[in-house]
Amino acid sequence: MTFSNSAELLSFHWVAYSIYAAMIISVVAWFGYNLTRKEAKSVFRIPFYWYMAFLVAGGVGHHIFTYNTIPWVSQDIDRHNITPDAKYEFEIEDHKWINLPKKITIQCGETVEFDVHSRDLVYGFGLFRKDGSMVMQMQVNPGTDINGILDSNDILWTFHHNGLFDLTSTEYSGPDEYSEDGEDLMLVKDFVEVVGCENGGAK
Amino acid sequence: MSFTKNLIEGTNFDHTNLNALQKVTLRAVVMAFLFYGLVAIEGMIMRMVEVGHSPLNPVPDQFFHPEHFFSIMTVHPIVGIFGSTYQLVFAAFMFLVPYLTKKPLYSIKLANCVWLLITIGTALAWIAAFVWNYAPLYTLYWPLPADTHQFKVVGGIVFVIGVALIMVGTLGFIYNIYATIFARVGVHKNKTTKELLISGFGVDGMLNLMNKLRGKQPYTKEPALALPVVAIFRGTVDTFLDAIVILAAGILILVYLVFDASGNALDVTAVDALLYKNFFWWGLDLVADGLVLIYVAGSWYLLATLITGQKLFMENVARAALMLELLVSWMVWSHHLLGDQGQPEMMKLISGEMVTAFELLTQGLALFITLVTLWKARPLKMTMELKYLLGGLVGFGLAVPAAIIQADMGMNRVLHNTQWIIGAHVHIALIVGLYMTLYSALYVLWPLVTNNTKLYSSKLSNAHFWLHLIGGIGMGAFMGMAGLDGMLRRHLYVDGQFNPDMVFAAIFGSMLLLAWIIFLYNIVMSVGVKGLIGIFLPAKDKTASYGIEEELEPADDPAFAN
Sign of CA dihedral B541, B547, B553, B558: positive
Mutate to test the interface with B, among A26, A172, A184, A186 (most CBs of B within 10 A): A172
Average pLDDT of the residues of chain A: 92
**For B344, which residue in chain A has the nearest alpha carbon?**
A77
Least confident of A163-167, A196-200, B409-413: A196-200
Per DSSP, what are the bridge partners of residue A116?
A: A90
Q: How far is CA A75 from the centre of its chain?
A: 14
Q: Are B483 and B491 in contact (CB under 8 A)?
A: no
The contacts of residue B161 (CB under 8 Å, 6+ apart) are B121, B124, B254
In this structure, what CATH number is given to the domain that contains residue B129? 1.20.210.10
- pLDDT given for residue B556 in this prediction: 59
Least confident of B87-96, B359-368, B477-486, B529-538: B359-368
For the stretch B418-473, pLDDT in tens is 999 999 999 999 999 999 999 999 999 999 999 999 999 999 999 999 999 999 99
Residue B73 has pLDDT above 80, yes or no: yes
Q: Are B482 and B498 in contact (CB under 8 A)?
A: yes
Q: Has the ipTM of the complex gone over 0.85?
A: yes
**CB pair distance less than 8 Å for B487 and A73:** no
* Domain count of the fold of chain B: 1
C-alpha distance from residue B88 to each of A6, B10, B25, B266 (Å): 41, 22, 9, 39
Considering CB atoms only, which of B66, B141, B394 is closest to A175? B66
**CB pair distance less than 8 Å for A40 and B394:** no
C-alpha distance from residue A110 to each of A128, A156, A195, B151, B406 (Å): 18, 10, 10, 43, 27
Mean pLDDT score, A118-131: 97
Longest CA–CA separation in chain B, Å: 74
- pLDDT given for residue B503 in this prediction: 96
For the stretch B287-341, pLDDT in tens is 887 778 888 999 999 999 999 999 999 988 888 888 888 888 899 999 999 999 9
How many angstroms away from the CA of A79 is the closest CA of chain B? 10
For the stretch B219-272, pLDDT in tens is 887 888 888 898 899 899 999 999 999 999 999 999 999 999 999 999 999 999
Secondary structure class of B341 (helix, strand, coil): coil
Return the H-helix or E-strand segment holding A195: strand A188-195
For residue B561, what pLDDT band results from cuts at 50, 70 and 90?
very low
What is the Cα–Cα distance from B480 to B58, expressed in whole angstroms? 24
- pLDDT given for residue A200 in this prediction: 61
**For B337, which residue in chain A has the nearest alpha carbon?**
A139
What is the Cα–Cα distance from B64 to B495, expressed in whole angstroms? 10
C-alpha distance from residue B342 to each of A63, A76, A77, A151 (Å): 21, 12, 12, 8
- pLDDT given for residue A121 in this prediction: 97
How many angstroms away from the CA of B428 is the closest CA of chain A? 12
How many angstroms away from the CA of A196 is the closest CA of chain B? 24
What phi and psi, each to the nearest 5 degrees, are found at residue A186? -95, 0
For residue A203, what pLDDT band results from cuts at 50, 70 and 90?
very low
Mean pLDDT score, B188-217: 86
Q: Are B5 and B429 in contact (CB under 8 A)?
A: no
Buried b (16+ CB within 10 A) or exposed e, B91-103: bbbbbbbbbbbbb
Q: Are A70 and A3 in contact (CB under 8 A)?
A: yes
Least confident of A48-57, B28-37, B161-170, B246-255: A48-57
- pLDDT given for residue A198 in this prediction: 83
**CB pair distance less than 8 Å for A63 and B368:** no
Residue in A202, A160, A191 with CA at minimum distance from that of residue A72: A160
Residue in B319, B123, B87 with CA at minimum distance from that of residue B218: B319
How many angstroms away from the CA of B410 is the closest CA of chain A? 5
Considering CB atoms only, which of A56, A66, A124 is closest to B417? A124
**CB pair distance less than 8 Å for B141 and A122:** yes
Residue B562 has pLDDT above 50, yes or no: no
- pLDDT given for residue A199 in this prediction: 67
For the stretch A62-75, pLDDT in tens is 999 999 999 899 99
Average pLDDT of the residues of chain B: 93
- Work out the number of other CB atoms within 10 angstroms of the CB of residue B383: 14
Domain residue ranges in chain A = 6-69, 84-200
- pLDDT given for residue B530 in this prediction: 96
**For A125, which residue in chain B has the nearest alpha carbon?**
B339
Residue A170 has pLDDT above 70, yes or no: yes
Mutate to test the interface with A, among B349, B465, B491 (most CBs of A within 10 A): B491
**CB pair distance less than 8 Å for B342 and A151:** yes
- pLDDT given for residue B222 in this prediction: 81
Considering CB atoms only, which of B66, B133, B485 is closest to A178? B66
How many angstroms away from the CA of B316 is the closest CA of chain A? 14
**CB pair distance less than 8 Å for A55 and B360:** yes
**For B497, which residue in chain A has the nearest alpha carbon?**
A132
**CB pair distance less than 8 Å for B340 and A38:** no
How many angstroms away from the CA of B319 is the closest CA of chain A? 16
For the stretch B145-200, pLDDT in tens is 999 999 999 999 999 999 999 999 999 999 999 999 999 888 888 888 888 898 88
- pLDDT given for residue B189 in this prediction: 85
CATH topology (fold) of A84-200: Immunoglobulin-like (2.60.40)
Mutate to test the interface with A, among B488, B493, B498 (most CBs of A within 10 A): B488
**CB pair distance less than 8 Å for B414 and A9:** yes
**Residues in chain A closer than 8 A to B492 (CB atoms):** 178, 182, 184
**Residues in chain B closer than 8 A to A121 (CB atoms):** 141, 143-144, 147
Chains A, B: CB contacts within 8 A come to: 221
- Work out the number of other CB atoms within 10 angstroms of the CB of residue A150: 16
Provide the residue type at A149 as one letter: I
Mutate to test the interface with A, among B269, B341, B487 (most CBs of A within 10 A): B341
**How crowded is the C-beta side of A74, counted as CA atoms within 13 Å?**
9
Residue A202 has pLDDT above 80, yes or no: no
**Residues in chain B closer than 8 A to A142 (CB atoms):** 143, 269, 273
- Work out the number of other CB atoms within 10 angstroms of the CB of residue B164: 20
DSSP string, A107-125: ETT-EEEEEEEESSS-EEE
- pLDDT given for residue B320 in this prediction: 82
**Residues in chain B closer than 8 A to A72 (CB atoms):** 410, 413
**CB pair distance less than 8 Å for A72 and B491:** no
- pLDDT given for residue B555 in this prediction: 61
Identify the domain containing residue B59 by its residue range.
3-561
How many angstroms away from the CA of B163 is the closest CA of chain A? 20
Longest CA–CA separation in chain A, Å: 76
Spell out the alpha helix ranges (H) of B52-86. 66-77
Per DSSP, what are the bridge partners of residue A118?
A: A92, A142
**CB pair distance less than 8 Å for A180 and B141:** no
